[in-house]
Structure 1
């Protein structure tokens, strides 16, 4: 080959090598200023006072954190470059629906987690990737959801829409069409009047509290056999807004909160597996014979702040509820201890009622009672039968504060550890009222009318475990003699 030809070939080879070397040495996109980036594709630009969506992010980014900034607008062409993006966190910015174009997410074919809570969005995106697993739109100003916002997403598991401005008209009939695997749906604090239609059958947690719910449409929960937690408190639900089968198909339901509604009685047809039932802050006046007895797994029943009278509670209302250990009946209108209390109840709260007497057999079958609160009723010492507590051998705490007691009553259980008698009219501690109470650790007698000479001289003799004694606000002129050495 002529020398010229050989020289030309060598020059071309050299140029080729140089071009390859330059390509290999070309730097990867730099990490945006003030952000943190890792080789694994994590880019953290959270809380750095960004005003705009960062440009020229590394194309291999898979987790992008932009929360706690002041971003108002998203550029679709910048997002489209991030084809590997799995997590996008834009919480707590200033994004508006105008600044979030409809096509913003259409090229993110690997997006699993989208966090847009605490922005200024008024309508949800019309389209979100079908790869989504979780979407958080809480604390915006949303008034409208579209059919493909959450529809046709078989991997979707959780949706958060609480603290928005959603009404019934702003929801599509098939909001979760093709998204049957959603397990968690939070729609609290909106303006819904009806339970949404066609809820995903895989739901196990549904929050609808703090809405305007007046009615639960027939069959609304029929497909939700796996639902475990249902939150319906702080609405306008009435007994007329539901029927005997509203909750019946919820065979997996363990937690039901219907507090702070307008119920006048306990709804019929509650499922048997409920463990915790919130019914407080309604207008419930009666408990019928068969409305609770089928809930065999019931452990906690909260009925405080209603309008219950003892005669409105059927003597067999709690019959067969062998697991029921906590019953709250405070702030009602009970004039006496209700008949037929749950036999295995351990905690009984009946404070702030109008109870004026305790009869001999009022607690004759509540052998397992450990905590009894009767404070702020209308009890007087003579109206508490001396043997009323005779069966309560496991009772540890008794509260009789805020009644009209003039003397310390007789007949306290010997195993008591805490006894509260404050804010009465007690002026006398008679002989024998505290005898045998060797396990008592705390005794509260503050704000009564006790004088040193009105206390039986050996009243404290058997209180060998007493560690705390409160006698403030009485008429004592000196420390009572004979106080136990165990006092702290």
Structure 2
């Protein structure tokens, strides 16, 4: 029987190793913030080009230009908890997984390569005017499947590239007030869309056009007063709909044209089928088939 691994990464202290492990973790406790670059890596160990997975945290305030291009075998990079990391300009090279969540990023200039599959930029301080995305690839060739921009300061998503292969998009806990009709057509294969805890006042006609594969939609805890059922009907594959924590007065559930497996409408003052839900005291009301 194989023993479970208790640790995914190999810690490296301030000594020089003959050869870098292919999977490693680096935590900087130095008082002066450093740039994480090839010079830093070469000071730790030899043969850094063979690193496959890497996790860094601590007192870093930058990532060296072209680092990921030089580490041609690196597929998984995670950099978290870097309080002085406010600006970043990178290309993804051969990376498949990139996690830069829980930093203090305010500005990011991102060059997308085809290989990237998962990108996590959640829990930063990103605003739309300070996010720059570019690519030389066609939308169909970009392999990005998961994009997490939750817990930032976004007010709209017009700046996004067309990610035709995207499956999950997390935009919850931002400050989004409106999504223009047609914008989401850039993600025709989207399955999960989370827009919870934003400032949406209405679902505009055409807002979800093109999302024929969408299975789960979370628009809970926004400022919605009314739900146009026909907009929900445009999502033919939808199975899970979360409307909790809005200001919805009336939801014409009987006009839905397809079955929804899970419908959550807690914390509204909602009518269903013309009958008022037992929610006058803000009790939980959910329909779960």
Structure-2-length-normalised TM-score: 0.79
The runs of 5 or more residues in structure 1 that have no matched partner are 1-116, 118-134, 152-178, 434-444, 451-470, 475-485
State the Cα distance separating 1:293 from its structure 2 match. Answer: 8.0
Larger Rg, first or second structure (1 or 2) = 1
Comparing both structures, which one devotes a greater share of its residues to strand? 2
Q: Deviations over 1:280-339 (max 9, x none)?
A: 0112222768536847010000000011112x523xx242x2210100000000112355
Residue 318 to residue 415, structure 1, CA distance change in 2 (3 Å): farther
Distance 1:293 1:346 in 2: 25
The aligned residue for residue 354 of structure 1 is 199
CA distance in 1, matches of 2:206, 2:10: 55
Q: 1:332 to 1:413 in 2, by over 3 A?
A: farther
Deviation at 1:189, TM superposition (A): 6.2
Alignment partner of 1:380 out of 208, 212, 225: 225
Provide, for residues 244-271 of structure 1, a one-character-per-residue CA deviation record: whole Å limited to 9, x for no partner: xx334x32x1100011223234432133
Contiguous gaps of at least 5 residues in structure 2: 1-6
Deviation at 1:380, TM superposition (A): 0.5
Between the two structures, name the one with larger relative contact order (CA 8 Å, sep ≥ 6): 2
1:63-102 alignment runs, 5 A limit: none
TM-score after normalising by structure 1: 0.49
Mark the CA change 1:237 to 1:354 in structure 2 (over 3 Å): closer, same or farther. Answer: same
2:103 alignment partner, one of 254, 261, 266:
261
Report Cα offsets for 1:446-468 as digits up to 9, x if no partner: 7x229xxxxxxxxxxxxxxxxxx
The residue that corresponds to 2:241 in the other structure is 398
Q: 1:424 aligns with which of 268, 272, 284?
A: 268
Give the direction of change, closer, same or farther, for the CA distance of 1:396–1:318 in structure 2 (3 Å limit): farther
Q: Tell me the SS of whatever aligns to 1:222.
A: helix
Secondary structure at the aligned position of 1:206 is classed as strand
1:449 and 2:288 matched: no
CA RMSD across the alignment: 3.1
What's the counterpart of residue 197 of structure 1? 41
Cα deviation for residue 414 of structure 1 reads: 1.4
Q: After the TM superposition, which residues 49-128 of structure 1 pair with which residues of structure 2 at under 5 Å, given as runs?
A: none
**Counterparts of 1:197 and 1:238 in 2: how far apart (Å)?**
21
Partner of 2:3: none
Per-residue CA distance 1:220-261 (angstroms, 9 max, x = gap): 33321110100112213222xx43xx334x32x110001122
**Separation of aligned partners in 1, 2:11 and 2:110:** 35
Q: CA deviation at 1:422?
A: 0.7
Give the structure 2 partner of residue 186 of structure 1. 25
Tell me the SS of whatever aligns to 1:267. Answer: strand
